[in-house]
A and B are shown apart, each in its own frame.
Chain A
Amino acid sequence: MKNYNAGAFILAAGILAAGTQMASAAATCDKQNIRFVNSMREISQPYHGDLDKGGRLFLESVGLRDKQYVLQLNQGDSDKQVSLMRAVLASNPGCTVFNVEPNNLPAVQLMVQTANETGAWIVTHWSHPDGFFPYQGNDHWIAHIGVNSLDAGISVSDNLIKAMGGHGGIVALQGILDNKPAQLRFTGLQQELAKNTGVTLLDQQTANWDRSQAFPIVQSWLAKYGDKIKGIWAANDDMALGAVEALRAAGLAGKIPVVGVDGIPEAIQAVKKGEMVATSSSDAYYQGSIGFAMGYCVLTGQVPEPAKWTNEQRNFNLRLITINKDNVDQYLNPPPASAYAGDWACDKIWARDTGPAD
């Protein structure tokens, strides 16, 4: 028995060693052999729908078949996100690129470790654990593309305060309370409020990113504060749209400014109609596809391997787009693939870098 165990251990160690040896060599893949995996929470929100569409648009633009595209949904379960990744890596790990919207911070660590072990490639979005970076020897973690949620919160709050004329009461709908982007966006509001003392925060509640929870909360606020409410702030577009419906029930849609974050098509239409004042977009089409573009460029040898990139190229914040009535017209229709040619081209994959991420 003991001999068997020792033998098996040595065999496993040998395979692992050989595997890691192969993983760190510069892997170039045949473009028909690359697999693109989009890993996200769900598909029922328009934001995620657009992530998925962006990914498919990229594959189309480089002439690849939809068969090379895999969509993985984890329904908010981090263990599932990691195990789905491992499952698909049973074959062809070296030519698989993951574009990940991580469910939470520990998931990032586990997925990066999986990539390092198996030789797969990964690009993450939004947030990663503090002190954990691609350039610390995680050679298969191509890049992390963060979103400066604080900036998003600041810019929409600024638009809201301007629309209110700089004075009045605001009510705020928060996202899920222990979610980092939610907290950062709210901090953005608080910073803007500190600068504009004519505006006060009357109340804040959480609607957990959901418009059906936002609706009764705004209804209750309208009953409690009446016309003291001069503006409604929401940490995302879904809640903002719920607030708009509650205003509509009270006959106030379009009369009280509302802002959100995400830039979903429905919100953009609301901005056009004047029912919302502004939204901030990280551009879901971009986020759903840039990881693929980076992976494609690396694997087809058109850019050097990530270990040779600068720190900022591997960990940057993307450029946010604030959509308000001044520029809403350009965003009304879903973008064609050509709109992103300037971001997917291998010499331009860092085009939206606005500075290093934390």
Chain B
Amino acid sequence: MTEIDRERTDALTRPKLAFFGRDVGAAEIRRHLLAWAPAVALVVLCVGFAIGDPQFASTTNLRALASQAAVPLILATGMTFIILQGSIDLSVEGVMGASSLAFALLIHNSRTGLDLGIVALIGGTLLGACFGAANGILVTRLKIPSFMATLGMWSISGGIAMLISGGQPPQIRDMAMRMWALGDIIGVPHLTMVAVIFVAIGYVLQSYTRFGRYSYVVGGSEEIALLSGVAVNRHKILAFTFGGLAAGLAAALESSRLGLGHTEIGADQMFLTLTAVVIGGTSLSGGRGGVIQSAIGVLILTVLANGMIFVGVTPYLQKAVQGLIVLIAVVAATWHLRHRLRVVK
């Protein structure tokens, strides 16, 4: 990309501020504050819970937190690109179920005679990518809004998962894979390391590839992107495929950890992933945010869920607390925009 292109892209991705009567200095400070708010919130939560129960900060719990964050990190990274482009992917849970079953049936298991080891992992991940690509094609070629297309794909992939499960979930018997998924090295769980590498790959994609930068452009204004000659459709399909790939990988890893192929392995994950992405600062209308922000959002939710157990919040209230935090985060993130005339989707 030339200097001029980069400047143009930066102009498009910078948040739009009011034209009149604003001191640029104050606006810049406010923007930086907002960008750092999720990270500050994370630190506040951690400190708060550690004060509430010092065991929260023990190495055992840090390891538990790392382990609990692994799957959501992978899912949130995949979801980020889709949201950056202004679309949404509701099919995560179904795709995870189907990939989990596919992976479990390919690896050494209680139902089929196959024993494909790492190839099974690749297979499960690729199946997720295929569902993602299907989403992308539905959205770009058939012009179905992403909300509807992925909603339909949720049912389709979930149905396929149920079909191949057939009432007898396959148990994973490949002990090497199982113990790797459950194990850790120098205190860091293996799955967390995979998640961190995946987030790093996501960051590289976002900052150093055309796909990443154009995703911001497409999200900022799809019309301008089209008129500028950006291959919008191709990038959309890529984003959905990446999202599906993330779901497939996450499902295969979680299945290895739990020991079976499970149609409901993605239960609740869609809400949590979207929440994490939004809390982290990636706007649902697109064009703003990023992989690192989503990762911080994931950490906030993981710390919250784990911390509530430590502090002893009654299970009857935990869902309510989670919802409240999401609302507060969204309101805080969009507070500075509320008085402007703006379309709320």
A residues with a Cβ closer than 8 A to B are 42-46, 48-50, 52-53, 174, 177, 203-206, 208, 210-213, 215-217, 219-224, 226, 241-242, 245, 248-249, 266
Do the beta carbons of B171 and A266 come within 8 Å of each other?
yes
Which of A53, A205, A216, A242 is close to B315, meaning CB atoms less than 8 Å apart? A205
Do the beta carbons of B167 and A46 come within 8 Å of each other?
yes
The 5 residue pairs across chains A and B that have the minimum distance between CB atoms? A49-B167, A223-B61, A44-B263, A249-B182, A223-B60
Tell me whether B51 is interfacial, beta carbon within 8 Å: no
Do the beta carbons of B67 and A219 come within 8 Å of each other?
yes
Do the beta carbons of A46 and B258 come within 8 Å of each other?
no
Tell me whether B222 is interfacial, beta carbon within 8 Å: no
Tell me whether B68 is interfacial, beta carbon within 8 Å: yes
CB-CB contacts below 8 Å: B64-105 with A: 64, 67-68
Do the beta carbons of A245 and B162 come within 8 Å of each other?
no
Q: How far is the CB of B84 from chain A (nearest CB, A)?
A: 28
Do the beta carbons of A220 and B310 come within 8 Å of each other?
yes
Task: A42 to B166: give the CA distance in the assembly, Å.
Answer: 10
Do the beta carbons of A224 and B310 come within 8 Å of each other?
yes
Which of B64, B167, B183 is close to A48, meaning CB atoms less than 8 Å apart? B167
Do the beta carbons of B60 and A211 come within 8 Å of each other?
no
Tell me whether B169 is interfacial, beta carbon within 8 Å: yes
Q: How far is the CB of B286 from chain A (nearest CB, A)?
A: 30
CB-CB contacts below 8 Å: B102-138 with A: none
A205-B169 contact, Cβ under 8 Å, with A211-B262, A224-B61, A245-B182:
no
A215-B267 contact, Cβ under 8 Å, with A224-B53, A224-B309, A266-B171:
no
Do the beta carbons of A177 and B169 come within 8 Å of each other?
no
The A interface, classified by DSSP as helix, strand, loop or mixed, is helix
A-B contact pairs, 11 of them (CB 8 A): A43-B165, A44-B169, A49-B168, A174-B315, A205-B309, A210-B267, A212-B258, A212-B267, A220-B309, A223-B61, A224-B61
B residues with a Cβ closer than 8 A to A are 53, 55-56, 58, 60-61, 63-64, 67-68, 161-162, 165-169, 171, 182-183, 254, 257-260, 262-265, 267-268, 305-306, 309-310, 312, 315-316
Task: A236 to B315: give the CA distance in the assembly, Å.
Answer: 17
Do the beta carbons of B162 and A248 come within 8 Å of each other?
no
The closest CB in chain B to the CB of A211 belongs to B258
Do the beta carbons of A226 and B257 come within 8 Å of each other?
no
A212-B262 contact, Cβ under 8 Å, with A43-B167, A224-B310:
yes
**A-chain residues with CB within 8 Å of residue B264 when the two chains form the complex:** 44, 210, 212
Do the beta carbons of B67 and A249 come within 8 Å of each other?
yes
Task: A284 to B63: give the CA distance in the assembly, Å.
Answer: 39
The closest CB in chain A to the CB of B68 belongs to A216
Do the beta carbons of A223 and B166 come within 8 Å of each other?
no
Do the beta carbons of B64 and A223 come within 8 Å of each other?
yes
Other 13 A-B pairs with CB < 8 A, given A219-B64, A223-B58? A44-B264, A46-B169, A49-B166, A174-B315, A177-B315, A203-B309, A208-B267, A212-B258, A220-B61, A220-B68, A222-B64, A224-B53, A249-B67
**B-chain residues with CB within 8 Å of residue A216 when the two chains form the complex:** 64, 67-68, 305-306
**B-chain residues with CB within 8 Å of residue A177 when the two chains form the complex:** 315-316
Task: A211 to B168: give the CA distance in the assembly, Å.
Answer: 15
A226-B315 contact, Cβ under 8 Å, with A212-B262, A215-B257:
no
**A-chain residues with CB within 8 Å of residue B316 when the two chains form the complex:** 177
Among B61, B64, B183, B306, which residue has the most Cβ atoms of chain A within 10 A?
A: B64
**B-chain residues with CB within 8 Å of residue A208 when the two chains form the complex:** 267
Task: A352 to B259: give the CA distance in the assembly, Å.
Answer: 35
Task: A50 to B309: give the CA distance in the assembly, Å.
Answer: 35
The closest CB in chain B to the CB of A53 belongs to B167
Which of B171, B258, B263 is close to A215, meaning CB atoms less than 8 Å apart? B258
Do the beta carbons of B258 and A224 come within 8 Å of each other?
no
**A-chain residues with CB within 8 Å of residue B312 when the two chains form the complex:** 203
Do the beta carbons of B262 and A223 come within 8 Å of each other?
no
Q: How far is the CB of B306 from chain A (nearest CB, A)?
A: 5
**B-chain residues with CB within 8 Å of residue A226 when the two chains form the complex:** 55, 60
Task: A205 to B58: give the CA distance in the assembly, Å.
Answer: 21
A44-B64 contact, Cβ under 8 Å, with A223-B58, A224-B309:
no
Do the beta carbons of A212 and B166 come within 8 Å of each other?
no
**A-chain residues with CB within 8 Å of residue B183 when the two chains form the complex:** 249
Do the beta carbons of B68 and A245 come within 8 Å of each other?
no
**B-chain residues with CB within 8 Å of residue A52 when the two chains form the complex:** 167
Do the beta carbons of A206 and B315 come within 8 Å of each other?
yes
**A-chain residues with CB within 8 Å of residue B162 when the two chains form the complex:** 42-44
Task: A117 to B316: give the CA distance in the assembly, Å.
Answer: 40
Task: A249 to B183: give the CA distance in the assembly, Å.
Answer: 6
Do the beta carbons of A222 and B309 come within 8 Å of each other?
no
**A-chain residues with CB within 8 Å of residue B259 when the two chains form the complex:** 241, 245
Q: How far is the CB of A284 from chain B (nearest CB, A)?
A: 11
Do the beta carbons of B257 and A245 come within 8 Å of each other?
yes
Task: A220 to B53: give the CA distance in the assembly, Å.
Answer: 13
Q: How far is the CB of A220 from chain B (nearest CB, A)?
A: 5
Task: A331 to B183: give the CA distance in the assembly, Å.
Answer: 32
Task: A348 to B257: give the CA distance in the assembly, Å.
Answer: 45
Task: A83 to B167: give the CA distance in the assembly, Å.
Answer: 23
The closest CB in chain B to the CB of A216 belongs to B68
**A-chain residues with CB within 8 Å of residue B263 when the two chains form the complex:** 44
The closest CB in chain B to the CB of A206 belongs to B315
Which of A46, A174, A213, A249 is close to B267, meaning CB atoms less than 8 Å apart? A213
Task: A216 to B64: give the CA distance in the assembly, Å.
Answer: 8
Q: How far is the CB of A107 from chain B (nearest CB, A)?
A: 21
**A-chain residues with CB within 8 Å of residue B254 when the two chains form the complex:** 212
Q: How far is the CB of A209 from chain B (nearest CB, A)?
A: 9
Task: A221 to B183: give the CA distance in the assembly, Å.
Answer: 18
Which of A44, A217, A222, A248 is close to B167, meaning CB atoms less than 8 Å apart? A44
Do the beta carbons of A223 and B169 come within 8 Å of each other?
no
Do the beta carbons of B182 and A248 come within 8 Å of each other?
yes
Task: A31 to B309: give the CA distance in the assembly, Å.
Answer: 56
